[in-house]
Structure 1
Amino acid sequence: MGLEIESRPSELPHIQRVWRSRSGEAGQMVSIATSHWELVFWEQQGVVRAAVLGPEGTASLAEVPADAEFFGISFAPGTSMPHIPVSRLVGGTASIPDVTRRSVWLKGSAWHVPNYDNAEAFVRRMVREGIVDLDPVVPAVLAGASPDVTDRTLQRRFVAATGLTQGAIRQIDRARQAAVLIREGVAAQDVVHLLGYFDQPHLARSLKKYIGLTATQLGARDGTPPLSLLYKT
């Protein structure tokens, strides 16, 4: 199965990544664990659909339709939709009805469907309209800051803004880093030391849970299902 994926970072703090892809034949891909939610549009046989995809705590196999085009906005951890608690979306999706090539209905009005090049303008409007919000404590802590709040308050804010605990987000992100390094040719034993795993079995369990492939499969690539978006953070 062919699956071409292109992605780019964004200057907006609300966006972690903007991506697009195209599928060939129908098949399956490994959907790796993600600590963020996404707004995704796709078109197949002239029919346009849209959905909000929640964070994924583990890797899983996902069906990929044939001859389809996809576009997605991956929102940064800490960005949430006040009217749809992220906790409800973990491991699930919410379909958006009444989508066409030109418009999508959000908050009771028609919006132009965004694309790969104007995603930032679309999200800026979402921010102005109060559809998305950002808890600045979440990205600050993930970047190493130590806010003046209790651990209990911090954990509550993480779960409210991301649907996941701080520990779960860090484990998912570390597994992603490990997968990228292994794909770049770094030996598994070196990844253990670079990223602070206890030993190679610890790394192996993390990769299997969050990436869905072993270190050997990541290094070989051939003969394994394609991965969903994997990139350097």
Structure 2
Amino acid sequence: MGLEIESRPSELPYIERVWRSRSDDVGRMTSIATPHWELVFWEHDGRVHSAVQGPEPNAAPAPVPKDATFFGITFALGTSMPHLPVSRLVGGSAEIPDVTRRSVWLKGSAWHVPDYDNAEWFVRRMVRAGIVDRDPIVPALLDGAAPDASQRTVQRRFVAATGLTQGAVRRIDRARHAAVLIQDGVPAQDVVHLLGYFDQPHLARSLTRYIGRTATQLRGPDPTEPLSLLYRPSSADPA
């Protein structure tokens, strides 16, 4: 009972993660903050829906349709759809109309609906068709490189590609990493030192804002209001 979630990483540089889930007797979840945008499909009451879900700058409660199935592609930072700028989707979403079990319309063309096992094939096609692009400056920055551009240009391109500032991405990823460590049984004081928080109150404020849970609540999950997908971000470093 609750929200069953399965996910996997991807070797394709355009994808951060692929996931699927099923809701069972749950009407609401806590959607934790994420710097990534997603392409999501779900089926409920015999109807198929799809939407582009933008980055979430803060944790927030979200309704969950009962007895529904979901599939999503979480895109890597720096990946975007030029015809639908990420900056317009922060904290929101854009529904994709006229979706069926077999087809979805993207930028004027009909595509076969992807699934958990062929997400990479689907995204490769999106790249070849020019629907998805990637700004190389973002992964370079996340890897610690110093791009050959002014700081102002770097900041502008980062926000254009992700919808968020570098600082916001670091804070969200650090909170997500902290939540994973706490769920794994690492004491809060150790998490403070491992991830560079000033003190435990600083960690507590971060968890409340970005995860929607305290350290105590993370150790005892609430089945009536589960968390959305939580995993250690690939770019989570002390900041």
SS state of the match for residue 213, structure 1? Answer: coil
Q: Choose 115-124 or 26-35, whichever is displaced more.
A: 26-35
Give the letter aligned to residue 138 of structure 2. Answer: V
In structure 2, distance between residues paired with 1:46 and 1:21: 16
How far apart in 2 are the matches of 1:23 and 1:223? 11
Structure 1 residue aligned with 2:124 = 124
Is the contact between residue 82 and residue 133 of structure 2 (CA under 8 Å) also seen in structure 1?
yes
**How far apart, CA to CA, are the structure 2 residues paired with 1:26 and 1:180?**
23
CA contact (8 A) 1:204 1:214 kept: yes
Shift of 1:151: 1.5
State the SS of the aligned residue for 1:73.
strand
Kindly provide the amino acid, as one letter, of the partner of residue 34 in structure 1.
T
Q: Secondary structure at the match of 2:123?
A: helix
Write the deviation string for residues 19-42 of structure 1: whole angstroms up to 9, x where unpaired.
000001141111000101000000
CA contact (8 A) 2:26 2:224 kept: no
Q: Decide whether the 8 Å contact of 1:25 with 1:65 is kept in 2.
A: no
Q: Which moved more, 1:34-43 or 1:131-140?
A: 131-140
TM-score by length of 2: 0.95
Other-structure match for 1:73: 73
Name stretches of at least 5 consecutive residues in structure 1 with no aligned partner.
none
Cα distance in 2 between the residues matched to 1:30 and 1:146: 36
- Aligned equivalents of 1:220, 1:42: Cα separation in 2: 28
- Residue 51 of structure 1 corresponds to 51
1:196 is aligned to: 196
Given that residues 138 and 158 in structure 1 are in contact (C-alpha distance below 8 angstroms), is that contact kept between their aligned partners in structure 2?
yes
Matched AA of 2:110:
A
2-side partners of 1:64 and 1:222: how far apart?
15
Q: How many residues align structurally?
A: 233
Asked if 2 retains the 8 angstrom alpha-carbon contact of 1:33 and 1:56, the reply is yes
TM-score (norm 1): 0.98
Q: Report the residue type matching 1:60 in the other structure.
A: A
C-alpha separation in 1, matches of 2:230 and 2:223: 18
Mapped pair 1:35 → 2:35: yes
- Residue range with higher mean Cα deviation, 23-32 or 49-58: 23-32
Cα distance in 1 for residues equivalent to 2:26 and 2:185: 30
Contact preservation (8 Å) 2:2, 2:224:
no
Instruction: Say if 2:157 is the partner of 1:157.
Output: yes
Please tell me the residue identity of whatever aligns with 2:61: L
What's the Cα RMSD here? 1.0
Deviates more, 1:218-227 or 1:47-56: 218-227
The residue aligned with 2:205 is 205
1:223 positional shift: 5.9
Contact between 1:217 and 1:224, CA under 8 Å: does it hold in 2?
Answer: no
